[in-house]
């Protein structure tokens, strides 16, 4: 199918204009990335956003795969000599993979089945006679099919074989499969039971030891939990509707008379459902609902990751970072404004060494010597104790102490990326550096860590790993390009996520920068090996060159539009820099006068917004947060307390809140607001500062239940 034909199908499904879809597909086919198309090709797409462009791409890929499967099925049936014009038309008209496979089912090469064995014995004519239900002397006809040489010794053996053939016919009936499929989707019940003898080992699945509900109403986290329990060998899970409500209607569909033949058909239909249709449809339902649960869980992960990556940066400040610890001490590092490691040492302010005074003096000295502006403290083991210790030190200059979520820092510190950057330092130094940099710029630091290790997912190990990885990588790319990248300070990991660049070219950029010094302009990037025209087109608008001779190089204005800005400046009889600095000059511009063949009003409006705030970081401002100083361990938490907290993870069943006691509390979805909440993401965001009330505490099980209802 050509792009034009695919476009018509996709446009109808997504309620878009065919031309929009055609243009998107052509741009994608030419190598354009989704961020580039969404930001710099608005005229071609009529301002479609990244989500819509992604939907077009994904649907196009599915249609291409569908057509590949369609061609393979046609070839297979044609080789069998069974492809009729009517069947070919039905296959060509099929609009889903399920419809295609249903049509192919009777022709699919099978291993030996009871029906195929019966056919080999010559019982297909008998099955056809029975199915017609016109024969009133069935036993006489069955007797004619007795053939000991073929293993048919009696009338009953002949009838049994014929029933096997009829059962397969029933299971391959497209109308029946579609009706049953619809019924399963609406009425099937997922049932979970504990495997005998596994009660103790599978204690964490207690809620599912004897559980059932309509699967259409079952949220993704419950489905994934049951499937995980089954995978681990603790639960037995089944998916099926009440067969007593299915069999009468199914039988009625095939019964045409009231004789011995119809009795045989009734037996065949019951056998077909129990032995063939029900297991086949259960397998299909498992796939359908697992895929749905996967998509929902991945969407939760993606939303959380986006919020985490776009968390407010502290910015370019000299930072002291502390990776807390008790016995092994607290690793302290000093980072300059660009995140470069200047100094590291270890202090022991906590038991067993408890070198309180010495540790305090060391921190005071470092803060003064390096002109430290902020202190980042990891929130892991000894985090609250270290925060309390630092808060009591009388520093000689103003300095903020900020607790930082260190999830994934240990993963980074042991990674090849960290070893390459800090080959002469151990994992504790690298971990402290990661904590400090995460405060300065969460996005720049978190791109170095596998998103699955950041700790904001839901059942992330149970979902489709390929789809998860693709979704997370796409989210990282979207966030990086949304913010933009300072090319002269960015790591190769950050640069690799810029539209059109990738790991190999990012490595070349850093190597060229290290050898030749900072890039003076965007055009200078063309000197980098393998940085061709396409890469430049796709990436240039997302790269920033601070203090470049052309001020537009530090903005999101694409170089292809520089001539438009030059024309605007010429019209205003000023320089580009003056145009960017003076609102009065920009007000004199009438956008309609600067429309070109490529740049219409959407692009011109974007240019004007960027001229007003060139290179502005779209992330929100950094806000300092403090936990309750009277609560530092779970033993301090009591029912009824109202505490400040930070949302660390959002799931379909609620959100987890860090209240500063090394154990996040759960706000169940029913406790998020005074009104009904269908999706937690509608009312809370990752890293959001909230106040919560403690409902109850289970110290032994390390469980804290919280509420946000009625909390001011």
Q: 325, 389, 381, 327: which is closest to 353 by C-alpha? A: 327
- What Cα–Cα distance (Å) separates residue 468 from each residue in 82, 318, 458, 464, 538? 41, 36, 11, 6, 25
Q: Which residue has the tokens 């469980």?
A: 703
Torsion over CA: 273, 279, 282, 287 (sign)? negative
What sign for the dihedral angle of Cα 220, 222, 225, 226?
Answer: negative
> 280: Cβ–Cβ under 8 A, 6 or more apart, which residues?
171
What is the rounded distance in angstroms from the CA atom of residue 219 to the CA atom of residue 205? 16
Token readout for 128 is 């056809």
Distances (CA, A) of 81 to 77, 107, 169: 6, 10, 20
Q: How far apart are CA 445 and CA 311, in angstroms?
A: 12
Query: 272 with 281: CB under 8 angstroms?
Result: no
- Total residue count of the chain as it appears in this document: 712
Compute the distance between CA of residue 677 and CA of residue 477 in angstroms, rounded to an integer.
30
Q: Can you identify the CATH homologous superfamily of domain 634-707?
A: Nucleic acid-binding proteins (2.40.50.140)
CA distance linking residue 312 with residue 285, whole number of Å: 42
pLDDT at 615: 82
Task: Give backbone dihedrals phi and psi of 393, rounded to 5 degrees, phi first.
Answer: -85, 125
Write down the domain spans for the chain: 3-107, 114-298, 319-440, 495-612, 634-707
**220 token code pair:** 């993704």
Does the CA dihedral 627-629-632-636 come out positive or negative? Answer: negative
Helix, strand or coil for residue 613? coil
Q: What is the model's pLDDT at position 1?
A: 52
Beta strands in 3-159 (DSSP E): none
Q: What is the DSSP letter of 593?
A: G
User: Right CATH number for 114-298 from 1.10.600.10, 3.20.20.60, 1.10.3500.10, 1.10.3720.10?
Assistant: 1.10.3500.10
Instruction: Tell me how far apart the alpha carbons of residues 538 and 193 are, in angstroms, rounded to a whole number.
Output: 54
> Domain 3-107: which CATH class?
mainly alpha
Residues 6+ apart with CB under 8 A from 538: 31, 32, 33, 36, 499, 500, 501
Burial class of 517 by CB neighbour count within 10 A (0 to 12, 13 to 18, 19+): exposed
Nearest-angstrom CA–CA distance, 272 and 131: 14
**pLDDT for the residue numbered 4:** 63
Residue 557's φ and ψ, nearest 5 degrees, are -70, 125
Cα distance between residue 257 and residue 255, in whole Å: 6
CATH 2.60.120.260 assigned to 319-440: no
Instruction: Determine if residue 599 is left, alpha or beta; phi over 0 gives left, psi from -120 to 50 gives alpha, anything else beta.
Output: beta
* Grouped pLDDT means (10 residues each) for the chain, 712 residues: 78 96 96 97 96 96 95 95 95 93 92 93 96 92 92 94 97 95 96 94 93 93 94 96 94 93 96 96 96 91 90 92 95 95 96 95 96 94 91 91 86 88 92 94 91 75 88 94 95 96 96 95 96 96 94 96 96 95 94 91 95 87 80 90 90 89 91 90 87 92 92 78
DSSP category for residue 707: E
Task: Give the pLDDT of residue 3.
Answer: 61
Question: Kind and range of the H or E element at 691?
Answer: strand 689-698
Q: Name the nearest CA neighbour of 617 among 555, 702, 698.
A: 555
Angle at 76 between CA 71 and CA 79, to 5 degrees: 120
φ/ψ bin of 358: left (φ > 0), alpha (ψ from -120 to 50), beta (otherwise): alpha
Q: How far is CA 656 from CA 56, 649, 684, in A?
A: 34, 5, 11
Residue 252's Cβ-count burial label (10 Å; 0-12, 13-18, 19+) is exposed
CA-to-CA distance for 566 and 544, rounded, in angstroms? 19
In sequence order, what DSSP letters do the residues of 363-413 get, joined into one string? HHHHHHHTT--EEEEESSTTHHHHHHHHHT---SS--EEEEE--TTHHHHH
CA distance 436 to 139: 87
Enumerate helices (H) and strands (E) in the chain, giving the number of each.
30, 15
Query: Is there a shared CATH topology between the 319-440 domain and the 634-707 domain?
Result: no
With beta carbons less than 8 A apart as the criterion, state whether 240 and 185 touch. no
State the DSSP H helix or E strand holding residue 190, giving kind and residue range, or none if neither. Answer: strand 189-194
Architecture of domain 495-612: Orthogonal Bundle (1.10)
Ranges of H-type helices in 188-277: 220-231, 247-254, 260-271
Backbone angles phi, psi at 249, to 5 degrees: -70, -35
Q: In angstroms, what is the C-alpha Rg of the chain?
A: 33
Of the candidates 147, 124, 421, 127, which has an alpha carbon nearest to the alpha carbon of residue 261?
127
**DSSP states of 453-480 as a string?**
GSS--SSTTTS-HHHHHHHHHHHHHHHH
Q: Which residue has the tokens 């000894």?
A: 382
């Amino acid at each position: 199918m050509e792009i034009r034909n695919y476009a018509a199908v996709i446009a109808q499904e997504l309620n878009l204009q065919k031309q929009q879809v055609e243009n998107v597909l052509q741009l994608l086919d030419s190598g354009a990335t989704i961020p580039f198309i969404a930001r710099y090709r608005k005229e071609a797409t009529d301002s479609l956003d990244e989500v819509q462009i992604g939907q077009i791409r994904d649907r196009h890929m599915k249609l291409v795969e569908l057509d590949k499967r369609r061609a393979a099925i046609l070839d297979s049936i044609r080789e069998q000599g069974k492809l009729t014009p009517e069947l070919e038309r039905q296959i060509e008209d099929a609009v889903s993979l399920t419809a295609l496979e249903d049509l192919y089912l009777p022709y699919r090469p099978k291993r030996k089945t009871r029906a195929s064995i019966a056919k080999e014995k010559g019982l297909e004519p008998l099955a056809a006679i029975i199915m017609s239900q016109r024969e009133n002397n069935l036993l006489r006809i069955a007797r004619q099919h007795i053939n000991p040489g073929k293993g048919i010794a009696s009338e009953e053996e002949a009838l049994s074989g014929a029933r096997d053939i009829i059962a397969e016919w029933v299971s391959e009936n497209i109308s029946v499969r579609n009706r049953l499929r619809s019924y399963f989707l609406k009425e099937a019940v997922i049932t979970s039971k504990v495997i005998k003898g596994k009660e103790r080992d599978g204690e964490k699945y207690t809620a599912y030891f004897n559980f059932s509900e309509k699967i259409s109403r079952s949220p993704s986290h419950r489905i994934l939990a049951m499937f995980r329990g089954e995978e681990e060998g603790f639960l037995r899970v089944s998916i099926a509707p009440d067969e007593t409500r299915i069999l009468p209607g199914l039988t009625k569909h095939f019964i045409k008379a009231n004789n011995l033949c119809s009795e045989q058909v009734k037996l065949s239909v019951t056998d077909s459902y129990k032995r063939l249709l029900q297991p086949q449809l259960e397998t299909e339902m498992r796939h359908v609902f697992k895929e749905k649960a996967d998509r929902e869980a991945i969407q939760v992960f993606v939303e959380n990751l986006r919020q985490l990556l776009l968390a407010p940066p502290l910015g370019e400040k000299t930072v002291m970072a502390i990776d807390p610890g008790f016995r092994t001490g607290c690793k302290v590092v000093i980072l300059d404004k660009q995140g470069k490691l200047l100094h590291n040492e270890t202090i022991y302010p906590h038991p067993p060494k408890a070198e309180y005074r010495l540790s305090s003096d060391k921190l005071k000295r470092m803060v003064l010597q390096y002109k430290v502006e902020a202190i980042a403290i990891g929130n892991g083991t000894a985090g609250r104790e270290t925060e309390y210790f630092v808060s009591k030190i009388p520093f000689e200059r103003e300095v903020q102490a900020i607790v930082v979520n260190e999830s994934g820092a240990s993963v980074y510190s042991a990674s090849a990326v960290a070893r390459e950057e800090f080959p002469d330092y151990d994992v504790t130094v690298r971990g402290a550096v990661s904590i400090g940099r995460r405060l300065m710029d969460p996005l720049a630091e978190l791109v170095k860590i596998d998103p699955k290790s950041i700790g904001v997912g839901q059942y992330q190990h149970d979902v489709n790993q390929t789809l998860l990885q693709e979704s997370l990588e796409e989210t990282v790319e979207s966030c990086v390009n949304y913010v933009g990248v300072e090319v002269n300070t960015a790591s190769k990991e950050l640069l690799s996520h810029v539209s059109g660049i990738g790991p190999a070219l990012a490595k070349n950029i850093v190597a060229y920068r290290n050898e030749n010094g900072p890039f003076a302009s965007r055009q200078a990037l063309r000197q980098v090996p393998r940085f061709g025209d396409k890469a430049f087109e796709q990436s240039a608008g997302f790269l920033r060159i601070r203090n470049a001779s052309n001020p537009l190089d530090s903005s999101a204005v694409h170089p292809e539009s520089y001539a438009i800005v030059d024309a605007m400046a010429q019209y205003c009889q000023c320089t580009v820099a003056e145009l960017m600095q003076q609102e009065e000059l920009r007000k004199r511009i009438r956008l309609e006068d600067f429309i070109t063949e490529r740049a219409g009003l959407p692009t011109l409006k974007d240019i004007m917004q960027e001229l007003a705030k060139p290179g502005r970081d779209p992330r929100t401002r950094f806000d300092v947060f403090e936990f309750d100083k009277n609560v530092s361990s779970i033993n301090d938490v009591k029912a009824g307390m109202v505490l400040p907290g930070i949302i660390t993870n959002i799931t379909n069943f609620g959100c987890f809140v860090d209240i500063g006691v090394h154990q996040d509390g759960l706000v169940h979805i029913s406790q998020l607001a005074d009104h009904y909440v269908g999706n937690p993401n509608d009312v809370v965001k990752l890293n959001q500062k909230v106040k919560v009330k403690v409902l109850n505490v289970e110290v032994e099980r390390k469980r804290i239940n919280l509420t946000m209802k009625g909390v001011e």
